[in-house]
Amino acid sequence: MSKHNPNEVQEMVAALKGTKAPRKKARLITRIPGARSVSVTGDFTGWSEEGTPMHNGSGDTWEAELVLAPGEYQYRLRVDGRWEDHAEARERRPNSFGSENCILRVS
């Protein structure tokens, strides 16, 4: 049996019941001086390099609002095409590349 992400299991159960798992808004905010483009990507985007674009608010502040089913998600930021940490993330988990993924919990 393959190992499933808890969020995938929740989505599969909801699909079998003919309902969708409730989705919640999750806002990510970061401050990255001098950045020209910032996106957030993770298991919720299939780790695509494009990810979800973050919008430049004021000055060096970047924001994205994600709509996700409740659960735990791993993610990283793409800043000007480079993988980077989200400095404000409260929780992290080691990844297979020798760095860490940030954890986003949606409840």
Residue 28: the pLDDT is 95
The answer to whether residue 18 scores a pLDDT higher than 70 is no
- pTM attached to this predicted model: 0.78
Beta bridge partner(s), residue 65: 27
Q: What pLDDT score does 43 carry? A: 96
pLDDT digits over 52-97, tens only?
A: 999 998 889 999 999 999 999 999 999 999 999 999 999 999 999 9
Burial class (CB in 10 A: 0-12, 13-18, 19+), 100: middle
Is pLDDT at 9 greater than 70 in this prediction?
Answer: no
102 Rama class: left (phi>0) / alpha (psi -120 to 50) / beta: beta
**29, amino acid identity:** I
